[in-house]
Amino acid sequence: MIAERLFDEATIAARVREIGASINVDYAGKYPMILGVLTSASVFVADLTRRIDIPCEFDFIALTRYSDAEGIRFAKDTSASVEGRHVILVEDTIDTGLTLQYVTKTLRARQPASLEVCTLLDRPHRRIAGIDVKYRGFEIPDVFVVGYGLDYKGRYRELPELYAHGSWPQ
């Protein structure tokens, strides 16, 4: 059940334009790799890369969470090497930061020229791991969010706006 609209289509588009403009300035003269985390960030990555006017490459990774003892693994790794590249890691939502901590540690071991984090949604009040977020779309409260690529049991990804879902997933 969808509860309330958090951000409408125009607000999301305006914020994506602003982030794209910042990336254009920060990476002028460079050839950054936009690295999206599948699947929820795919809509954000698509819209963001269309707002970046400088030459860039984009790729995706996918993560799999195993039992707590085994942690997180790459289900799909990068197609191209990140070594020596300026990488912008694009995530849909950052909560505790533990998943992103694993991903950034793994990517930094591959020696990129730089690695920055971009997220559509951020819950800094839930942060456990120290994650520096250079580009942030929106700060959100403790609500489960659907739409604009984010889903609940495979539903609602197609919605062009972001909504609070009536309950946390079971």
d(CA 52, CA 40): 20
d(CA 163, CA 88): 26
Residues 6+ apart with CB under 8 A from 59: 33, 34, 35, 36, 78, 79, 80
Asked whether the CA dihedral 45, 144, 132, 63 is positive or negative, the reply is negative
> At residue 13, what are phi and psi to the nearest 5 degrees?
-60, -40
Identify the active-site residue in 47, 92, 95, 151. Answer: 95
Asked whether the CA dihedral 49, 25, 98, 95 is positive or negative, the reply is negative
Q: Is 95 a catalytic residue?
A: yes
Helix H or strand E encompassing 21: helix 9-26
Partners of 163 in the β-ladder: 5, 146
Give the residue numbers annotated as catalytic, written as ranges.
95
